[in-house]
Structure 1
Amino acid sequence: MPRRKLPPQTPWTNSPEDVEAAFYEALSSGNLDALMALWSEDDDICCIHPGGQRLDGQAAIREGFAQLLANGGLQINAEVQHRWHSMTSAAHSVVERVPIDVDGQVQWGFVLTTHLFVQTAVGWRMVLHHASPGVPQTPLAALAPTDTLH
């Protein structure tokens, strides 16, 4: 498979936060090419959509997002709850608020998401997007991190 061309960037100037912001912007605008440019070129990447199967590699992830974006962009309000960074990797715990149509009424549902990023030769890139359904109508404050691990 030919390597896709990534946008030009200076390796040490972008951040995991930049990649995450661009990820949600690409989802909002429905721009599949911009979204896929944020992923590591390594085929050892993974995506799990809420209630979905594990998607491994560029082709499967691209197809999964193509299906999600088939009707246009997605409205997602994301709030990072926790960040962990090292020199070459980062993990973010995110609460996504998404509109859900329930009998013609828009209600908000919650998705609990984990993003993993790695520093590559071309800058920070995503290697994991794992999203699980949260409890509908849960206030964000109730999902804030605590000192309890499990």
Structure 2
Amino acid sequence: MSRRLKAPKSLFGSASELEAAFYAALSQGDIEAMMKVWSDDEEIICILPNLPYAQGHIAVHDLWENLFNIGQFKAHILATHTFDNLLTAVHTLLVHIQLTTRSGETQAFNLHTTQVYLKSEQGWRMSVYHATVALDNNKLTDVLPSLLH
């Protein structure tokens, strides 16, 4: 029998509104607000650099709770590319993160992130969050090619 966390959900009218709530929860270190953005589906996935793969509500909750215990995160979106349709949205971002640890040490780094959002009867919810360290500080491509091949 699988254990499941239930957080009261907020209605998000757009993927961009949901994304803003996600980064607000990150900056506030608010685990309840963080879990409100995620889909009710147990197949949710969160992949962060140098951390274990997290699938399902318990694993995703525990991952963010552990991160929030490290210190305070501030996120600043440097570049974004979005693909939104009626039921799905995929946002690719370049995000600058500043972490101030509990001991007062400050670290700064950039992440390339991909967020997948799904629209349900309860509004927009995050299904996948995948981040990798941006080894360069390049911007996302503003104009994507019309053909892949």
Can you give the 5+ residue segments of structure 1 that lack an aligned partner in the other structure? none
1:1-150 equivalence runs, <5 A? 1=3, 4-9=6-11, 14-99=13-98, 108-136=108-136, 138=137, 142-145=138-141, 146-147=143-144
- Aligned pairs, number: 141
| CA shift digits 1:80-104 (9 cap, x unpaired) | 4210011100000011112368xx9
Q: CA offset at residue 108 of structure 1?
A: 4.0
Please give the per-residue CA displacement for 1:91-133, whole angstroms capped at 9, x wherever unaligned.
00011112368xx996742100000000011100000110001
Q: 2 CA distance for matches of 1:2 and 1:98?
A: 30
TM-score (norm: length of structure 1): 0.82
- How far 1:147 sits from its partner (Å)? 3.7
Q: Match for 1:99: what amino acid?
A: Q
Q: Kindly tell me: are residues 55 and 144 of structure 1, through their superposed partners in 2, closer, same or farther at Cα, counting changes over 3 Å?
A: same
Structure 2 unpaired stretches of 5+: none
Q: Is the 8 A contact 1:29 1:72 kept in 2?
A: no
Identity rate, percent = 27
3-state SS in 2 of match to 1:4: coil
Mapped partners of 1:75, 1:5: distance in 2: 24
What is the root-mean-square deviation of aligned Cα atoms in Å? 2.6
